Chain A
């Protein structure tokens, strides 16, 4: 407790009250968003696949054997080329999601992880800066639209964010106290992050290694040896990554992760994966030289541009203004530089990666939110400290009333910050009509909470219709009514499928009458329906796959 600057019982009580309230608020907000707007279902291909893999883990399986019928159940990004059905993603996030699947409530995993992230942000702020930074950072995080919305989803970024703040905490611990145990935990966290968001993990371990070169003078020990140990442990997690994907492909240098092209029915299973060499080409390191760098820069430009608008939802340029203040005031410390270095490293990493996927916001930079928030809180704290120090200068030291002037100015500063937070809450969370002049004009980036409704064209119309009509023991083919909704049709219901087909209703892609008949034969005794998406119109079919009059 002494490390948390808690000196009395009252302080302890107040701290526990504040932290518990904020974590609970975070949990309630994100669950409410999930429940009310996202309807507790995945809205992105990645999420559908994470959930699929998590349900496999929950059944004690790494993969499901694929057959010629697999395309009926395959959503975009699902891999099944090597005779094994599995998700496109590394193992750690589906593993975490598995606990939610086992509890029957997978939608609660990310909100819990998010509230733990908030707790860690507070602890990091208090332990390595001061109490004000801890509380301010937690408040800013709690009202960040980007953070709250991503916390409500099924995306891996929430766990990535939790790991990134943990990495920052243990990196600060190491550079402050220089203990080996912190370095070991740090390496394990980087490894887990690598198995959640691979490129972020790589950049984070490199950033950590750079920061470890500059420990506190009192903590200096064998830093080069420690860095080598961290990298060695990280390598173990890298091998785990290779081993996991080797289980699927049978060849350890065939990559099955990452998103590539899709087929007509929205499944990329036929593409299988690509060689590890291709990954290096993607980074622009082999054969193509730096050909992809211009794309990477353009992609980062997009992500940064949106990050500047979205992360706190303050006026665009104001979002980052306090971030620079520790550097502007010439009072930066090593603890300010460490989150800054990690922030820059992640941005640098995505400069080498060219895919500009914007979903729920500039998501590739999501893991940098704790660094950004802590530096912003630090900026506010530094400015407040600077104003206070003015009243202690030789010029004013002997004048009465300087303390009052300092207090008034600082009150205006904090009033200004809370005004910005209020503006954000009013504009983003309360208003149901988005202000399109500033936000929400990019696909995949909600301009206000209301835009999360039917986000990414996913809505549970088919399952609602099936439930409303009381249909049981049925096979339902889902048919996209518009070409651009090709994965969405099955994506909106595939989480209800189980690969042992023991569910009351089985949902499958509509692959045409001829192929559909093959699937119908596999399920004798089941009623057959076809459902249009997004209308949700349900029509019963004969066993021959013809519409019944």
Chain B
């Protein structure tokens, strides 16, 4: 190899190392910016005659219902996209109902134990041995009682793959649910008469989170990229272990020969 070829090789190696470092830095930045996932804070204020939906503090829907006094809270999953949903999948958490007059907590749920606080109206959720709540078909459950009035419902929703979730008020003659589909659409699902079917009134898509979703895509690639680096490192370590063993064997053999040159 002449000098110019050697220089060219060095330049190529240097360029490749720069690329690798750059790529790893970009991936690391993406990872640190993205790995925490996304959270959506839901709030519903229910006062006699009206209710209001909020997402992350932003008021998205308000309606006056003269007959509305209050009612239970309802939590449901659309089963079309997730027929075998685990309750942990959509990651509802920290559900809390607060009396707006006194500030006292009427109800709280973090799904750490069982579902004894809930009335299962549809579906068959169960707690399995890993303490995860799962349901095999439709799920709609309610909690609280009809006498609740003038209260605030709050909950945290963590990102999920593909699901439609409904959350809201359930009274005798009224259902007011905030539906959030696949982290990008929220709509008010209103039914004035509780019967077998609810009448859905879609208002508008109000939650668009492209950055959050881009983060999730980035996390997918980042994790695999770093796992790829991990695999390379793991196999290099394995190689060096074998190589070390080989060197030890070679040295031992050589020293044995030196100690006993007449040995075969």
Chain A minimum-CB-distance residue to B86 = A441
When chains A and B are docked, how far (Å) is the Cα of A318 from the Cα of B230? 11
> Cβ of B82 and Cβ of A321 under 8 Å apart?
no
Chain B minimum-CB-distance residue to A409 = B239
Determine the chain B residues whose CB is within 8 A of the CB of A145 once the complex forms.
none
When chains A and B are docked, how far (Å) is the Cα of A444 from the Cα of B162? 11
When chains A and B are docked, how far (Å) is the Cα of A356 from the Cα of B232? 35
Interface residue tally for chain B (C-beta within 8 Å):
49
B198: interface (CB < 8 Å): no
Determine the chain B residues whose CB is within 8 A of the CB of A443 once the complex forms.
79-83, 162
Given that A295-B184, A330-B20, A441-B82 are contacting pairs, would A400 and B232 also be in contact in the complex, using a CB cutoff of 8 Å?
no
Determine the chain A residues whose CB is within 8 A of the CB of B86 once the complex forms.
436, 441
Determine the chain B residues whose CB is within 8 A of the CB of A317 once the complex forms.
223-224, 227
Q: Which of B44-102 contact A (CB under 8 A)?
A: 79-86, 89
A300: interface (CB < 8 Å): yes
> Cβ of B236 and Cβ of A390 under 8 Å apart?
yes
Tell me how far the C-beta of B49 lies from the nearest C-beta in chain A, rounded to whole angstroms: 33
B257: interface (CB < 8 Å): no
Chain A minimum-CB-distance residue to B80 = A443
Tell me how far the C-beta of A35 lies from the nearest C-beta in chain B, rounded to whole angstroms: 25
> Cβ of B182 and Cβ of A302 under 8 Å apart?
yes
Tell me how far the C-beta of A315 lies from the nearest C-beta in chain B, rounded to whole angstroms: 9
> Cβ of A297 and Cβ of B214 under 8 Å apart?
yes
> Cβ of B224 and Cβ of A321 under 8 Å apart?
yes
Tell me how far the C-beta of A271 lies from the nearest C-beta in chain B, rounded to whole angstroms: 18
Given that A294-B208, A317-B224, A443-B82 are contacting pairs, would A322 and B246 also be in contact in the complex, using a CB cutoff of 8 Å?
no
> Cβ of A405 and Cβ of B246 under 8 Å apart?
yes
Query: What 1/0 mask marks residues of chain A from 385 to 421 whose CB sits below 8 Å from any chain B CB?
Result: 0110011000010011110111011001100000000
> Cβ of B224 and Cβ of A325 under 8 Å apart?
no
When chains A and B are docked, how far (Å) is the Cα of A391 from the Cα of B239? 9
When chains A and B are docked, how far (Å) is the Cα of A22 from the Cα of B13? 39
Tell me how far the C-beta of A79 lies from the nearest C-beta in chain B, rounded to whole angstroms: 25
> Cβ of B84 and Cβ of A436 under 8 Å apart?
yes
Tell me how far the C-beta of B179 lies from the nearest C-beta in chain A, rounded to whole angstroms: 15
Tell me how far the C-beta of B124 lies from the nearest C-beta in chain A, rounded to whole angstroms: 14
Chain A minimum-CB-distance residue to B183 = A298
Chain B minimum-CB-distance residue to A326 = B228
Tell me how far the C-beta of A492 lies from the nearest C-beta in chain B, rounded to whole angstroms: 19
Tell me how far the C-beta of A361 lies from the nearest C-beta in chain B, rounded to whole angstroms: 12
When chains A and B are docked, how far (Å) is the Cα of A391 from the Cα of B242? 11
When chains A and B are docked, how far (Å) is the Cα of A409 from the Cα of B240? 9
Chain A minimum-CB-distance residue to B231 = A321
Partner of A401, one of B84, B134, B232, B249: B249
A358: interface (CB < 8 Å): yes
Partner of B242, one of A305, A308, A386, A405: A405
When chains A and B are docked, how far (Å) is the Cα of A294 from the Cα of B185? 10
> Cβ of A442 and Cβ of B229 under 8 Å apart?
no
> Cβ of A404 and Cβ of B242 under 8 Å apart?
yes
> Cβ of A325 and Cβ of B243 under 8 Å apart?
no
Chain A minimum-CB-distance residue to B214 = A297
When chains A and B are docked, how far (Å) is the Cα of A401 from the Cα of B253? 12
B107: interface (CB < 8 Å): no
B33: interface (CB < 8 Å): no
Q: Which of A283-319 contact B (CB under 8 A)?
A: 293-295, 297-298, 300-302, 304-306, 308, 317-319
Partner of B247, one of A304, A321, A387, A399: A399
Partner of B162, one of A293, A295, A406, A442: A442
A329: interface (CB < 8 Å): yes
> Cβ of A320 and Cβ of B242 under 8 Å apart?
no
> Cβ of A409 and Cβ of B83 under 8 Å apart?
no
> Cβ of A412 and Cβ of B182 under 8 Å apart?
no
Given that A383-B235, A409-B239, A443-B80 are contacting pairs, would A404 and B246 also be in contact in the complex, using a CB cutoff of 8 Å?
yes
Partner of B16, one of A300, A330, A402, A441: A330
Interface residues on A, range: 35 or more
A327: interface (CB < 8 Å): yes
When chains A and B are docked, how far (Å) is the Cα of A55 from the Cα of B86? 43
> Cβ of A413 and Cβ of B228 under 8 Å apart?
no
B217: interface (CB < 8 Å): yes
Determine the chain B residues whose CB is within 8 A of the CB of A447 once the complex forms.
84
B213: interface (CB < 8 Å): yes
A125: interface (CB < 8 Å): no
Q: Which of B202-245 contact A (CB under 8 A)?
A: 208-210, 213-214, 216-217, 220-221, 223-225, 227-232, 235-236, 238-239, 242-243, 245
> Cβ of A321 and Cβ of B217 under 8 Å apart?
no
Partner of A412, one of B162, B184, B223, B238: B238
B32: interface (CB < 8 Å): no
A460: interface (CB < 8 Å): no
When chains A and B are docked, how far (Å) is the Cα of A318 from the Cα of B80? 29
Q: Which of A313-352 contact B (CB under 8 A)?
A: 317-325, 327-330
When chains A and B are docked, how far (Å) is the Cα of A537 from the Cα of B256? 87
Chain A minimum-CB-distance residue to B85 = A441
Determine the chain A residues whose CB is within 8 A of the CB of B81 once the complex forms.
358, 442-444
When chains A and B are docked, how far (Å) is the Cα of A300 from the Cα of B245? 48
When chains A and B are docked, how far (Å) is the Cα of A267 from the Cα of B89? 34
Determine the chain A residues whose CB is within 8 A of the CB of B224 once the complex forms.
308, 317, 319-321, 323-324
Partner of B246, one of A301, A402, A442: A402
Determine the chain B residues whose CB is within 8 A of the CB of A318 once the complex forms.
227
A532: interface (CB < 8 Å): no
> Cβ of A301 and Cβ of B227 under 8 Å apart?
no
Determine the chain B residues whose CB is within 8 A of the CB of A399 once the complex forms.
243, 246-247, 250
Chain A minimum-CB-distance residue to B246 = A401
Given that A297-B217, A301-B216 are contacting pairs, would A412 and B235 also be in contact in the complex, using a CB cutoff of 8 Å?
yes
Tell me how far the C-beta of B38 lies from the nearest C-beta in chain A, rounded to whole angstroms: 11
When chains A and B are docked, how far (Å) is the Cα of A447 from the Cα of B209? 29
> Cβ of B220 and Cβ of A305 under 8 Å apart?
yes
Partner of A294, one of B19, B161, B210, B232: B210
> Cβ of A298 and Cβ of B182 under 8 Å apart?
yes
Q: Which of B131-163 contact A (CB under 8 A)?
A: 134, 161-162
Determine the chain B residues whose CB is within 8 A of the CB of A536 once the complex forms.
none
Determine the chain B residues whose CB is within 8 A of the CB of A323 once the complex forms.
224, 228
A440: interface (CB < 8 Å): yes
Measured CB to CB, the residues of B under 8 A from A are 16-17, 19-20, 23, 79-86, 89, 134, 161-162, 182-184, 208-210, 213-214, 216-217, 220-221, 223-225, 227-232, 235-236, 238-239, 242-243, 245-247, 249-250
Top 10 A-B pairs, shortest CB-CB distance: A401-B246, A405-B242, A320-B224, A330-B16, A294-B208, A324-B228, A294-B210, A321-B227, A298-B184, A409-B239
Selected A-B contacts with CB under 8 Å, 27 pairs: A293-B210, A294-B184, A294-B209, A294-B213, A295-B184, A297-B213, A298-B183, A298-B184, A300-B217, A301-B214, A321-B227, A321-B228, A322-B231, A327-B23, A330-B17, A330-B19, A358-B81, A386-B232, A390-B243, A399-B243, A406-B239, A409-B238, A436-B86, A441-B86, A442-B162, A443-B79, A443-B81
New A-B contacts (19) at CB < 8 Å, excluding given A308-B224, A323-B224: A293-B210, A297-B213, A298-B210, A300-B213, A302-B161, A317-B223, A320-B221, A321-B227, A324-B224, A328-B229, A386-B232, A391-B239, A400-B246, A401-B245, A401-B249, A406-B242, A408-B242, A436-B84, A436-B134
